[in-house]
Amino acid sequence: MRSKLNIALVIVAAVIICIVLCIGGMFLSHWYAETFFPVPDGESPQALLGDSFGAVNALISAFAFAGVIVAIFIERHELTLQRKDLSLQRQEFATQNETLQLQRFENTFFNMLTLQQRIVLDLCHKDENSGKTVQGRELFFYAFEHLPHHFKNANGQDETLAGMRMYLEQKGLRAYDKCHTPSYFDHYFRHLYTIIKFIDNSTFLSFADKYKYTISGHFKLNIVL
């Protein structure tokens, strides 16, 4: 508001100065022509005085035209600078947007890793025969090496093998789908898949960035496992 008032005052002052100079110039020219500008009888001293300034008027007009050209070039230069400033601002906004996207991604990503670790810590299995309770990351090793796996052999007799590894060696990989052991880790693997899918769907990340976050997430999960 204050800047607009200052501009208005400057315009009013300029107009007043121009009017004063114009009126003063007319009176001075009229007085000078009658007093100091001798002319033949019958001629108007004011008219001849005005005609004597023809070359000066042409020069002033030429300077005015040159000023207009200079003003055009200055304005063009300022417009170029404004375009550069706008381009830099757009680049800055784009960089800020990428930074905000990355921050949101990392906040969600690390929260998902934290939840994945909690899922690992909440894993639990109680052996019905021994009464032993296995919790957390120990359940992975216990299920692979010691968890009893009951099945019927080719003769129809009940048989038990210790650990998922021994069970798959005896029954083959096809027996994996019939085994109940993987169900203990359903929530773990589903959420792990969600993390990998979240990284893959982040379109603003490059392949190298996706690989980096996948490896870093895998490393953090291995600390828990």
The string of pLDDT tens digits covering residues 103-125 is 999 999 999 989 998 999 888 88
Q: How confident is the model at residue 145 (pLDDT cuts 50, 70, 90)?
A: confident
Last residue of a domain, one of 79, 100, 121: 100
Q: Which domain holds residue 151?
A: 102-224
What b-and-e string marks burial along 181-208, b requiring 16 or more CB atoms within 10 Å of the CB? beebbeebeebbeebeeebeebeebeee
Are 107 and 80 within one domain? no
Mean pLDDT of the chain: 77
Q: Residue 224: its pLDDT value, please?
A: 45
Q: How many CB atoms lie within 10 A of CB 147?
A: 22
Total tally of structural domains belonging to the chain: 2
Both tokens assigned to 214: 């996948």
Which residue type sits at 192? L
Q: How far apart are the C-alpha atoms of 32 and 153, rounded to whole Å?
A: 133
Are 35 and 62 contained in the same domain? Answer: yes
The predicted model scores a pTM of 0.56
- Residues 152 and 215 placed together within one structural domain of the fold: yes
Q: Give the three-state DSSP class for 165.
A: helix
* Phi, psi (degrees; rounded to nearest 5) at 210: -60, -40
Shared domain for 16 and 69, answered yes or no, is: yes
Q: State the Cα–Cα distance between residues 215 and 224, nearest whole angstrom.
A: 15
Please say which residue of 67, 100, 133 terminates a domain: 100
Q: What φ, ψ does residue 125 adopt, rounded to 5°?
A: -150, 135
Question: Residue 143: how many CB atoms within 10 A of its CB?
Answer: 21
- The verdict on 191 and 159 lying in the same domain is yes
∠ CA 89-92-96 to the nearest 5 degrees?
Answer: 140
* Whether residue 119 sits in one domain with residue 214: yes
CA distance 69 to 224: 74
Last residue of a domain, one of 100, 123, 139: 100
Residue 107 and residue 63 share a domain: no
- Give yes or no for residue 36 having a pLDDT over 60: no
Q: Give residue 197's pLDDT.
A: 92
* Whole-number Å distance between alpha carbons of 167 and 180: 12
Q: Rg of the chain over CA atoms, in angstroms?
A: 46
Higher pLDDT, 80 or 3: 80
Q: Same structural domain for residues 18 and 115?
A: no
Q: Beta strand 133-135 with 124-126: parallel, antiparallel or unpaired?
A: antiparallel
* Furthest-apart CA atoms within the chain: distance in Å: 150
Q: Do 162 and 149 fall into the same domain?
A: yes
Strands 158-162 and 133-135: unpaired
**Neighbour tally for 213: CB within 10 Å:** 21
- Which pLDDT score, from 0 to 100, does residue 223 have? 44
